[in-house]
Structure 1
Amino acid sequence: MSWITTVTGKHFNFVQIDQNSICIEDIAVALSNICRFTGHLPNFYSVAQHSVLVSQLVPPEFALEALMHDAAEAYCSDINSPLKALLPDYQAVLGNVEHAIADKFNLPPVMSAPVKRADLIMLATERREFGLDDGTPWPILDGIDPASFVIFPLHPMQARVQFLQRFNDLRGIAV
């Protein structure tokens, strides 16, 4: 079996990705239920909330791309970066899912520099906010300052609603 069943009842096939199986509601639900940092946090903090915050750090023309930058994790789960680097087959599947989502939502095939930088700013902010800075250097964050705001982790349902509202606002869809 090479497919999963999503919350809306669609079958998402990793081998033959059908654009009709990609659904913003499925993405919002899954990302709101996935905890950042493989769950190694004092409180639940979702990928959906992270994505909304990243989308608020970029210029408006990059906001939808930023909101959707981790959307493939809705289908592939969130694997921490050190482990992901050891899994080339996973990276290939993830890349295929990322491209399918980019096509579906008319996003660039490669993450733009402003989105990548905003994602790193959020990583630095999360590191500060969640007490992950034990003095060990994180080379990826060299030269990256955290944002000035405080993160208040949301319940998954709140993060889901916030994600969908942000998506609809950016797509100009009235709810």
Structure 2
Amino acid sequence: MATMDTYTGNKIDPMNMTASDISIQDIAHALSLTCRGGGHVSYFFSVAQHSINCMNEAKARGWSERLQLACLLHDASEAYISDIIRPVKAHLSNYLEIESMIMDVILEHFGLSDLSEEENAMWKQIDDDMMNFELKNLMKGEAHRNTDNLSSVPAVAERSWREVEDEFEAECKKLIEKMSDQTGK
């Protein structure tokens, strides 16, 4: 069995993950240190920052805490298998299978395994809208991109990865607590 060591000291097999392998600390830490766009942005801008922007956009649209959490966690598999830029990812069918398998476990861990097709389409739309905004603001030659679809003003300022890690983890815990309060679980 091939294992990886996570930030919190767990040893997990990324090809056979279970819900008990998932840690918000591992996800927040790894995503705060993973740069968007394969590092081809104007300055370090993390996947965690992107995910926080997606969550804030869902909140600005008046979406439920459940959908806000889905937006925050939509790239969480990258904490375990890293990020691959979209133009390449589409050609790596095995990567897509592995990514999907890990995301299924993550969604199960956070009580989101029953997201409907409509809910999945909603967070994917925010992901696309946010990507356009970030590309326009963080990459040379992308000023033409349309960013009219946003209800929020995404934060794209350069930030400390530690600050982003703390915010990501805190927002995740806050959303889980609100969802728990609503369902009584």
- Fold match by TM threshold 0.5: yes
Note the alpha carbon deviations across 1:124-144, whole angstroms, 9 max, x for none. 1101211344478xxxx7x76
1:42 equivalent in structure 2: 42
For 1:23, the equivalent position in structure 2 comes to 23
Which consecutive unaligned segments of at least 5 residues does structure 2 have?
Answer: 179-185
Superposition pairs of residues 11-160 of structure 1, within 5 angstroms: 11-58=11-58, 59-61=63-65, 62-108=67-113, 112-134=120-142, 145=148, 147=150, 149=153, 151-160=156-165
Distance 1:78 1:101 in 2: 16
C-alpha spacing 1:5/1:153, structure 2 compared with 1 (3 Å):
same
Contact 2:45–2:156 (CA under 8 A) maintained in structure 1: no
Query: Shift in Å at residue 118 of structure 1?
Result: 1.1
**Distance in 2, Cα, partners of 1:157 & 1:42:** 19
Verify the 8 A CA contact 1:99 1:109 in the aligned structure 2: no
CA contact (8 A) 1:12 1:22 kept: no
Is contact 1:22–1:104 with CA below 8 Å preserved after alignment?
Answer: yes
CA distance in 2, matches of 1:146, 1:127: 14
Partners of 2:171 and 2:156 lie apart in 1 by: 17
TM-score (norm 2): 0.82
* Structure 1 residue 82: Cα displacement: 1.2
Q: Which moved more, 1:146-155 or 1:68-77?
A: 146-155
Unpaired segments ≥5 residues, structure 1: none
Task: Tell me the amino acid that sits aligned with residue 131 of structure 2.
Answer: L
2:182 corresponds to: none
RMSD value over aligned CA atoms?
2.2
In 2, the alpha carbon distance for the partners of 1:156 and 1:146 equals 27
Identity rate, percent: 31
Alpha-carbon distance, 1:168 to partner: 1.6
Q: How much does 1:102 deviate?
A: 0.8
Residue-pair matches, total:
168
**Residues in 1 aligned to 2:109 and 2:97: alpha-carbon distance in whole angstroms:** 19
**TM-score calculated relative to the size of structure 1:** 0.86
